[in-house]
Structure 1
Amino acid sequence: MVPVSVVIITKNEADVIQRSVAMARLITDDIVIIDNGSSDDTGKIATEYGCRVFQKNWDGYGANKNKGIACARYNWILSIDADEIIDEELVTALHHLHYNNPDTVYNIRFKTYFGDKLISFGSWGRDHHVRLFHRGTVKWSELPVHETLLFPKGTKQKTLAGFIHHYSVKNEKECREKALHYALLSAKKYYHIGKKSNFIKLYLSPAFNFLRNYCLYLGFLDGWEGWCIAKNTARHTWLKYHHLYQLESMPIQKTYQSDNLLYMYPQIKQTS
């Protein structure tokens, strides 16, 4: 075992969490699950695999990941999602690290799947993220969506051998639903920080994103799945600026509490 705590945020992940925590057990005796009121067997499965499960209210992706970090036994944190599985090469790399420099963070490459198909091209085929870090120097931003890690000046970044395998969506329906979900969250975030919608963002940005994913990044080589990913990436871009335009145009009707900030926004008429 290595001095790393694995932190996972979940809600109703019973169909995928078993494989994730089984591989995580190969590196650590401390797997922290921050559960947001699952109604399936997520908590039961995680507990059977020796995880420590904490029920926490949902305050956003970054905020709940920080809650998990606070519950961890070790200072080094490997942050993954329930639908992400570390592979044996990454397990070996983690066992060979010295964990003696809190000013270094570790980038990990991803292999992302559409159903059971590995996506080799497009933006999904180029995916990588910093997921291993020391909690004394690094934490998650507490934004409603697209949370990022906050690094102090002078942080060094290294890339580990191995991959995290991300089982992103099961089918086209889930791909569409995710595009809409994250578009709504992004629109609310943009509205709060004062970002504006305009013609270029509404119409040219979606077209550019499609061409970049499908043509420039060779997404067409992934076949039908590559087409679906490029299409829904463009759709996500259009939706977030469309809903941002709605927010800008309507009177404030509703409030919600997220990430310790009070967000004021109009009631959006959802476009799918």
Structure 2
Amino acid sequence: MVPVSVVIIAKSTADIIEGCIENARKITDDVIIIYNGPEEDTLHAATNSGCRVYKKTWEGYGANKNKGADEARYNWILSIDADEVPDDGLISAIQNLNFKDKNVVYDIKFRSHFGGKLIRFGSWGRDHHIRLFNRELVKWSETLIHEKLTLPKYVRKKKIKGHIHHYSAKGAGEFDLKCSYYAKLSAEKYFRDGKKAGIVKLYFSPIFGFLKNYIFSLGFLDGRAGWVIAATIMKNTRRKYLFLSQIENLPVNQTELVKNDLVVEYKTA
């Protein structure tokens, strides 16, 4: 085993998390699961795996990931979600790393799956993220969505062999529901950041995003799945700015709820 703790954020992915945990345990003897969902099957699978499980109220992706890193036995953290599975190539690469230099972070390629199909093109086909880092220097920004790692300027980025396989959605309906949820979180974040929902964002950004994903990045080569992904992302882009425009037009007492991370209601989009 290597001096790496695997931190897994889990909610309602009982059908995937067992494979996620199985491969995580090939890397380390320290797997931490931060669980915040309602589904007992997920909690049962996590608890029976021999991992350390912490049931935590939802405070945003960044906050929950930092909670897992704080509970870790080792300073080196591999951060993944419960619908993400490290493959054998990545496991082997991590096992052969030298962990003496904490000023390095590792950028990992992703392979995304949609309804059982591996997506090779579009924005998903070239996806990669920094997910292996030392917690003494690096933490997640504590935002509700679009959390990022805060990297000191002197930290060096390195690529690593292997992939994380992301099992995003079983089909169009599930993907649309996820996108709707993320759109609301994005709108609230944008409002707190002072962004505005202008005509360009509402009408032109969704179309440009579709063309970039489906045409320029060759998403059409993924067949029907490529179309569904590009069309749903386009819909989601418009939806989040529509939600943002609704927030902007709320009475002052309700906009204060948004600023304080509290729930507001939206019209369906």
Q: TM exceeds 0.5?
A: yes
Structure 1 residues 43-64: Cα deviation after superposition (integer angstroms, max 9, x where no partner): 2212222210011111011000
Counterpart-to-counterpart distance in 2, 1:37 and 1:203: 35
Greater shift, 10-19 or 35-44, is seen at 35-44
| AA matched with 1:177 | L
Counterpart-to-counterpart distance in 2, 1:58 and 1:70: 16
| Correspondence for 1:3 | 3
Q: Do the aligned residues in 2 keep the contact of 1:7 with 1:33 (CA within 8 Å)?
A: yes
What's the offset of the Cα at 1:242? 0.7
| Correspondence for 1:216 | 216
| Correspondence for 2:62 | 62
Q: 1:138-177 residue pairs with structure 2 within 5 A?
A: 138-177=138-177
Structure 1 residues 214-263: Cα deviation after superposition (integer angstroms, max 9, x where no partner): 00000000000000000011111101111111111121344658xxx724
Q: Do the aligned residues in 2 keep the contact of 1:239 with 1:271 (CA within 8 Å)?
A: no
| AA matched with 2:267 | Q
1:128 lines up with 2:125 in the alignment: no
| Correspondence for 2:48 | 48
**What TM-score do you get using the length of structure 2 for normalisation?**
0.96
Closer, same or farther in 2 for the Cα pair 1:101/1:146, shift >3 Å? same
Q: Do the aligned residues in 2 keep the contact of 1:252 with 1:264 (CA within 8 Å)?
A: no
| AA matched with 1:270 | K
1:262 lines up with 2:260 in the alignment: yes
Closer, same or farther in 2 for the Cα pair 1:37/1:178, shift >3 Å? closer
Q: 1:94-109 residue pairs with structure 2 within 5 A?
A: 94-109=94-109
Counterpart-to-counterpart distance in 2, 1:92 and 1:237: 38
Structure 1 residues 108-160: Cα deviation after superposition (integer angstroms, max 9, x where no partner): 00000001100000001010000000000000001111101000111100011
Q: Secondary structure at the match of 1:66?
A: helix
Structure 1 residues 181-200: Cα deviation after superposition (integer angstroms, max 9, x where no partner): 11110000011111111010
- Aligned residues between the structures: 268
Q: 1:224-243 residue pairs with structure 2 within 5 A?
A: 224-243=224-243
Counterpart-to-counterpart distance in 1, 2:137 and 2:247: 36
Q: Secondary structure at the match of 1:32?
A: strand
Q: CA RMSD in A?
A: 1.5
Q: Secondary structure at the match of 2:174?
A: helix
Structure 2 stretches lacking a partner, 5+ long: none
**What TM-score do you get using the length of structure 1 for normalisation?**
0.95
Q: 1:14-29 residue pairs with structure 2 within 5 A?
A: 14-29=14-29
| Correspondence for 2:189 | 189
Counterpart-to-counterpart distance in 2, 1:38 and 1:263: 21
- Provide runs of 4+ in structure 1 moved above 3 Å: 252-257
Counterpart-to-counterpart distance in 1, 2:88 and 2:262: 46
Q: Secondary structure at the match of 1:58?
A: coil
Closer, same or farther in 2 for the Cα pair 1:37/1:204, shift >3 Å? closer
| Correspondence for 1:35 | 35
Q: Which of the two has greater helix per residue?
A: 2
